[in-house]
């Protein structure tokens, strides 16, 4: 049986998970592929560090260049993370024509265009299934399973930490700070948690999916990002009363009026923000640390991908999916059977958030006196923003009450202009909470 030699850089949580999966199912992989994968060398920070799964010391080195420069290694697996030295490692491996497998979402998001250009230049290949949603095979599905489709819309719950926090806030009626602290205590949130709760991790993944789906590379700086820090138990409560669940959602969809040139080129919304989802929609029931991606293809229709988006074993499964593809490419002499990225919407562009049209949930804290509701409603009306419903509950602290508006579809810039005026009213206490509503139409 033909043998393919593997070199791995990074032996931490994910790296040890990849090695453990090989120990457990290596024979099964060989039987299914007709190729025997064998680890030749693994570069780590320290030979003595504790690992989730043990790796024999005979395989270890502290010099990553021993992996990249070994002429007997066919596939280099990068599991270091970050956008610094990992970029150098991958470029060095590609320059030697080696196939690279990575789980590095931050690097692919920030430097994907450069990495894919380097792969093309050196007739190498770069696989990155594990960079988005861990064990969910969403990259492979977009690249291969749905190759005949355009994608009018993709919606993703792609950060398990935020989903865990929002799930507990809804089920327990707890405040954000308390749930975050408990999530950190149990290892579901990092310390500091900024990358997750401020939406940046989700933005990396959403940008990668948008690039694949629409065939132009999405600059991470063009992705509009909001996190969940400002979500309160009060917002969860009122959303529930209205029949909605709040989720941090990555949204990729054709901007209204953005289609050009017979459908080949377009403007696309690429955003990450907390979103009210109707309780009857399947994404509303995705709870705890689980991820889900809802894909709408123009031919296949609506599909859903669900599973664990992180963790050593789920991510290791995705890494092995890529190793298997790379091994079969080498076995059959078709190293570039599937290019890592194929541009096909040359004039595509990310639509600014100001142009995005959607529905809105707005919560104000206002003085409890006559005429306030009418004044706020009048300003929305003068801004050509329709109101679908209003909640003004009783029983709150003296002199101040929440006032909630559900708004009809409107451009983001119009809503912001109206809020700028409303915030200046003496009867409005503090900044409003603005959340968007998605009906998946």
| pLDDT of 416 strictly over 90 | yes
Res. 20: pLDDT tops 50: yes
Q: Is the dihedral of CA 318, 321, 323, 329 positive or negative?
A: negative
Q: Comparing C-alpha atoms, which of 343, 341, 351 is closest to residue 108?
A: 341
In angstroms, the CA 52 to CA 191 distance is 19
Give pLDDT, residue 397: 61
HSE of 296, CA atoms in CB hemisphere, 13 A: 10
Alpha carbons 52 and 363: distance in angstroms, whole number: 45
Q: Which of 278, 245, 250, 272 is nearest to 166 (CA)?
A: 245
H helical segments located in 149-255: 160-172, 176-185, 194-197, 200-214, 233-241
pLDDT in tens, 338-365: 888 888 877 789 999 999 999 999 999 9
Angle, CA of 339, 210 and 195, to the nearest 5°: 110
Distance CA 127, CA 358 (A): 35
- What are the E-state strand segments in 228-266? 244-254
Among 111-115, 226-230, 324-328, 397-401, whose mean pLDDT is lowest?
A: 397-401
Q: What percent of the chain has pLDDT over 70?
A: 97
Highest mean pLDDT among 216-220, 334-338, 339-343: 216-220
User: Are residues 40 and 70 in contact, defined by beta-carbon separation less than 8 angstroms?
Assistant: yes
Q: Are the C-beta atoms of residues 416 and 355 closer than 8 Å to each other?
A: no
Q: What's the CA gap between 72 and 149, in Å, rounded?
A: 39
Per-residue pLDDT tens over the stretch 150-199: 999 999 999 999 999 999 999 999 999 999 999 898 888 888 999 999 99
| More confident of the two residues 392 and 91 | 91
Kindly state the tokens that stand for 247. Answer: 């989720």
pLDDT at 342: 84
User: Is pLDDT at 218 greater than 60 in this prediction?
Assistant: yes
Q: Cα–Cα distance between 197 and 43 in angstroms, integer? A: 31
Give 391's pLDDT tier (boundaries 50, 70, 90).
Answer: very high
Collapsing DSSP to helix, strand or coil, 122 comes out as coil
Name residues whose C-beta falls within 8 Å of residue 49's C-beta, 6 or more positions apart in sequence: 11, 12
DSSP 311: S
Catalytic (active-site) positions: 205
| Residues sharing a CB contact under 8 Å with residue 76, sequence separation 6 or more, in sequence order | 7, 8, 9, 67, 68, 89, 90, 93, 98, 99, 100, 101
For 49-111, the DSSP string reads: ---SS---GGGEES-HHHHHT-TT--EEEE---SSSHHHHHHHHHHHTT-EEEE--HHHHHHH
What structural domains does the chain harbor?
2-136+312-331 (3.40.50.720), 141-309 (3.30.360.10), 356-437 (3.30.70.260)
User: DSSP character for 232?
Assistant: -
Residues above pLDDT 90, as percent of the chain? 86
3-state secondary structure (DSSP) of residue 328: helix
The neighbour count for residue 45, using CB atoms within 10 Å, is: 12
State the average pLDDT over residues 210-219.
Answer: 94
Cα 317 to chain centroid distance, Å, stands at: 18
pTM of the model: 0.94
Burial degree of 280 (CB within 10 A; 0-12, 13-18, 19+): exposed
In this structure, are residues 370 and 338 in contact, taking their beta carbons and an 8 Å threshold? no
For the chain, give the mean pLDDT. 93
Q: Which has more confidence, 262 or 210?
A: 210
Calculate the dihedral angle through the C-alpha atoms of 278, 280, 281, 286, rounding to the nearest 10 degrees: 100
Read off the tokens for 74: 């066919």
How far apart CA 364 and CA 403 sit, in angstroms, is 5
């Amino acid at each position: 049986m033909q043998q393919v030699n593997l070199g791995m850089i990074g032996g931490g949580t994910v790296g040890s998970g990849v090695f453990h999966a090989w120990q457990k199912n290596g024979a099964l992989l060989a039987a299914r592929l007709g190729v025997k994968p064998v680890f030749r060398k693994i570069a780590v920070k320290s030979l003595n560090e504790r690992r989730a799964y043990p790796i024999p010391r005979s395989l270890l080195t502290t010099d990553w260049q021993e992996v990249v420069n070994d002429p007997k290694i066919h596939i280099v697996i990068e599991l270091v993370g970050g956008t610094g030295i990992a970029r150098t490692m991958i470029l060095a491996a590609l320059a030697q024509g080696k196939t690279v497998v990575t789980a590095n979402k931050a690097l692919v998001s920030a430097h994907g265009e450069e990495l894919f250009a380097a792969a093309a230049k050196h007739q190498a290949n770069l696989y990155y299934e594990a960079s988005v949603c861990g064990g969910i095979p969403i990259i492979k599905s977009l690249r291969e399973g749905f190759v005949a489709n355009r994608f009018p819309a993709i919606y993703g719950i792609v950060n398990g930490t935020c989903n865990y926090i929002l799930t507990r806030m809804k089920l327990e009626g707890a405040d954000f700070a308390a749930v975050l602290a408990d999530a950190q205590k149990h290892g579901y949130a990092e310390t500091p948690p900024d990358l997750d709760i401020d939406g940046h991790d989700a933005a990396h993944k959403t940008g990668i999916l948008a690039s694949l789906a629409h065939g132009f590379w999405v600059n991470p700086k063009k992705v509009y990002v909001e996190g969940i820090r400002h979500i309160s138990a009060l917002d969860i409560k009122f959303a529930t009363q209205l029949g909605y669940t709040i989720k941090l959602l990555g949204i990729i969809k054709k901007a209204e009026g953005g289609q050009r040139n017979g459908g080949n080129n377009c403007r696309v919304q690429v955003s990450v923000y907390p979103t009210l989802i109707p309780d009857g929609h399947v994404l509303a029931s995705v709870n705890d640390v689980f991820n889900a991606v809802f894909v709408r293809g123009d031919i296949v229709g609506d599909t859903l991908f669900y599973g664990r988006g992180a963790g050593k074993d789920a991510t290791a499964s995705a890494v092995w999916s890529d190793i298997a593809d790379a091994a079969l490419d080498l076995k059959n002499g078709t190293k570039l059977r599937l290019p890592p990225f194929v541009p096909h919407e040359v004039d595509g562009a990310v639509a600014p958030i100001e142009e995005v049209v959607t529905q809105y949930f707005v919560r104000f804290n206002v003085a409890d006196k006559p005429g306030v509701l009418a004044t706020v409603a009048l300003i929305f009306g003068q801004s050509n923003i329709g109101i679908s419903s209003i909640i003004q509950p009783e029983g709150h602290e003296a002199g101040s009450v929440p006032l909630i508006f559900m708004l009809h579809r409107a451009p983001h810039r119009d809503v912001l202009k109206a809020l700028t005026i409303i915030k200046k009213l003496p009867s409005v206490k503090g900044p409003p909470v603005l959340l968007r509503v998605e009906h998946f139409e």
